[in-house]
Chains A and B, each alone.
Chain A
Amino acid sequence: GAVVSQHPSWVICKSGTSVKIECRSLDFQATTMFWYRQFPKQSLMLMATSNEGSKATYEQGVEKDKFLINHASLTLSTLTVTSAHPEDSSFYICSARGVVRGGYEQYFGPGTRLTVT
């Protein structure tokens, strides 16, 4: 299958600071990238969908000014958590969708664990 990477894999930051998480599709072009958030023992909740070169579409209840998403190229999307607070501590997972082996497929990154102190 195709490979999606995330960086960093984990990060600890102080309350009030901003954190940027990168998501890269390593061997295919991702026309669409999705950002999910998962709290312990809960399901993955979709935060936003981004298409390359377009503004992200946010799910209801997700603050677009707090979670800034940029999808500037077909292989890179970034999620910036601005003015982070302890309640933003979570597991953030990206997913990239593109043409792989002749058809559209979707792959998940390994996730980024964010802890805000």
Chain B
Amino acid sequence: GQSLEQPSEVTAVEGAIVQINCTYQTSGFYGLSWYQQHDGGAPTFLSYNALDGLEETGRFSSFLSRSDSYGYLLLQELQMKDSASYFCAVSAIKAAGNKLTFGGGTRVLVKP
């Protein structure tokens, strides 16, 4: 089976930097994705890593180490609108399709 671990909650102030770690256990690993979800909304795609290294997309960056089964999402220059839940998700090749398995989510609270 697959399992992912990420912290349940993080609090930070505007302008700060937050790193959300994600460790995973899976067979047939294909890639690690990150999604943002505001309360009442659907997940929106943030970033994807299939290879080791850092992917930068504006204020958000994501890192993957396949050998360590570990990745992180880095949120820089935090803004109030970044208050949301952030999920890491593993893509694993399965016969039925490249389905995503989600971690429990990290609730990020940004304070003024």
Contact = CB atoms under 8 A, between A and B. Distances in A.
Chain A complexes with chain B: yes
- For the complex, would chain A's binding face be called helix, strand, loop or mixed by DSSP majority? strand
A75 interface: no
B97 A44 contact: no
A43 B103 contact: yes
B37 to A, nearest CB: 8
Which one of A43, A57, A108 has the greatest number of beta carbons of chain B within 10 Å?
A: A43
Nearest 8 A-B pairs (CB), nearest first? A32-B97, A57-B96, A49-B96, A111-B42, A44-B102, A43-B102, A110-B42, A43-B104
Interface in B56-112: 87, 94-105, 107
Interface in B7-59: 35, 41-45
Interface of A: 1, 31-32, 34, 41-46, 49, 51, 57, 93, 95, 97, 104, 106-111
A108 B96 contact: no
Contact of B100 (A41, A46, A104): A46
B42 A93 contact: yes
Which one of B45, B87, B94 has the greatest number of beta carbons of chain A within 10 Å?
A: B45
B109 to A, nearest CB: 13
A108 B98 contact: no
B97 A97 contact: yes
Given A108-B42, A110-B41, A46 B96 contact: no
